[in-house]
Structure 1
Amino acid sequence: MSEVQWNRLTAAELRALAARDAVVLLPVGATEQHGPHLPTGVDDLLAAEVCRRTALRAAEHTATVVAPSVPTGLSEHHMPFGGTLTLSLATLHALLRDICRSAIRVGFSRILIVNGHGGNMTALNALTTELTLELATPIAFASYFGAGRAVVRDTLETQDGLMHACEGETSMMMAAHPDLIRAEHLPEAHGPRITLPAESDDPLYMAVTFDRITASGVAGDARSASREKGERMLDGCAQALADIIAGNPWARKDDEARTRP
């Protein structure tokens, strides 16, 4: 079967995939401002696209299906710019719990939440543990740009990793959704470089709205973006996730030990 999108498959086809112990990819993004040149759905659109490419690659060794994406995440820090939708932590928790529970009731037992928004990372680390306990099913979590960190770093010219509405995100949008880019505003699409929270050595955390970091809504420099860079990053991140799936992170270590020769 070449179709990998949950909402393009029939109920019978999904039951058959569950019977094959297929992996469910659940993209989680955000709807928030992305500077003057990109639409608010960047994080959602890119997470869904990476998941689609991942499922096609993973199909060589593991049946995989992509659930409808969660288009809204934790974006309170972008609210001052307008155009942003955000959830509370409790709502995100409840939404993910209900989607995962529904997939489990169909018969799926392997779910990988694939994140496309930096602001979701800390919450999803914690929620993955909560969901695993609540649903008695091992839920896994990965940010696509974390899984593909090496290809992202090696592809970009002006930064070491994804920032916001930057060279990286703009390049991937050029590859996946070129019709949504406001090319006339690309000359304005630049701002200060930022350090991702996961890579910061600052022991102090305080909530800071994004307008205090950049007046343009951009962190990084989108002016050097290209479709070729975007294709390389989308494919590289998808391959990294497909490799993770092939390694079966849901397997218990004692099960692995028993199957070794």
Structure 2
Amino acid sequence: MTSVLWQDLTAEELRARAARDAVVVLPVASIEQHGPHLPVGVDTVLCGGVCKAAAERAADVDVVVAPTLWCGMAEHHMAFGGTFTFDIPTYRAVLLALLKSIERHGFHRVLIVNGHGGNIAALTAFLPDFARETRLHVEATTYFLLAEAALGPLLEDQAGVQHACEVETSMMMALAPGALREPRLGEAFGARGGLPGRANVSRHRSFREMTETGVVGDARRASVEKGRACLDACAAALAGLLREMGRA
């Protein structure tokens, strides 16, 4: 089977995909702290893995998965170390440059798939700019929100993805065996009531104000089996969206 990954294809093969009006999936993620038990690349590993699995599942749609943008909006994690972050103008400029490159190669449809909560507001705000400054049809989604209804029944202590939690730890067990620092798993819980704040009031908070461990949720509930089920749920939800775009 021909790879769905942009980096595995030749320039000639990519030109052919563009001529067939393939949908380009652009995964966007983050490099940031994920508690004492997980590496900082969690969001990048998971987002890329979900996008690849979804594209392979939606085999009836011509899909190319671009390389994952590994840096995003992660100021709230900086206090823990190990984190890279963009500011808003830089993030917008990088994404626009990537989209314009995709456009110049003859593609017309792009699905930005986000794997980091801190990127959501920025991506929503950028969509009008992308519509104005390119001729692309651009849609954006956050894969774990797209699959939220399917994830809930698979979990013990939470309704969806939090941070370095039951879901993310389980999915890393499935996608990146050996990445988990198992001796530290007993420390990997925090802020289990969710993130603090007042309804309809926003302010910036460092994760240091929210959790001593860098974890929101309880990673001690994680398992490989749960990770495989969560990955399958996320890939299925995203594949459904790709099929919708393919029919449009």
Q: Which category of TM-score, normalised to the shorter sequence, fits these structures?
A: over 0.9
In the TM superposition, residue 104 of structure 1 has moved relative to its aligned partner by: 1.0
Q: Which residue in 1 is equivalent to 2:40?
A: 40
Identity of aligned residues (%): 49
Show CA shifts across 1:102-134 (max 9, x none): 111111111000000001001111112211211
In the TM superposition, 1:176-187 aligns within 5 A as 176-187=175-186
The TM-score with structure 2 as length reference comes to 0.96
Q: Distance in 2 between matches of 1:244 and 1:104?
A: 21
In the TM superposition, residue 193 of structure 1 has moved relative to its aligned partner by: 2.3
8 Å contact from structure 2 (residues 108, 135) kept in 1: no
Q: Distance in 2 between matches of 1:62 and 1:68?
A: 19
The TM-score with structure 1 as length reference comes to 0.91
Q: Distance in 1 between matches of 2:195 and 2:210?
A: 13
Q: Which residue in 1 is equivalent to 2:125?
A: 126
Q: Distance in 2 between matches of 1:155 and 1:66?
A: 27
Q: Distance in 2 between matches of 1:249 and 1:210?
A: 39
In the TM superposition, residue 195 of structure 1 has moved relative to its aligned partner by: 4.1
Q: Which residue in 2 is equivalent to 1:256?
A: none
In the TM superposition, 1:71-220 aligns within 5 A as 71-193=70-192, 195=194, 202-220=199-217
Q: Residue 91 of structure 2 aligns to which amino acid in structure 1?
A: L
Gaps of 5+ in 2: none
8 Å contact from structure 2 (residues 33, 83) kept in 1: yes
Is 2:240 the counterpart of 1:243?
A: yes
Aligned-residue Cα RMSD (Å) equals: 1.6
Show CA shifts across 1:198-249 (max 9, x none): xx87010010100000000000000010111111111111111111121128
Q: Distance in 2 between matches of 1:195 and 1:188?
A: 17
Q: Distance in 2 between matches of 1:236 and 1:129?
A: 30
Show CA shifts across 1:119-165 (max 9, x none): 10011111122112110222100000011111211111111111000
In the TM superposition, residue 9 of structure 1 has moved relative to its aligned partner by: 0.6
Q: Distance in 1 between matches of 2:81 and 2:49?
A: 25
Q: Distance in 1 between matches of 2:139 and 2:195?
A: 22
8 Å contact from structure 2 (residues 23, 246) kept in 1: no
8 Å contact from structure 1 (residues 2, 56) kept in 2: no
Q: Distance in 1 between matches of 2:140 and 2:169?
A: 24
SS at match of 1:179: coil
8 Å contact from structure 2 (residues 164, 216) kept in 1: yes
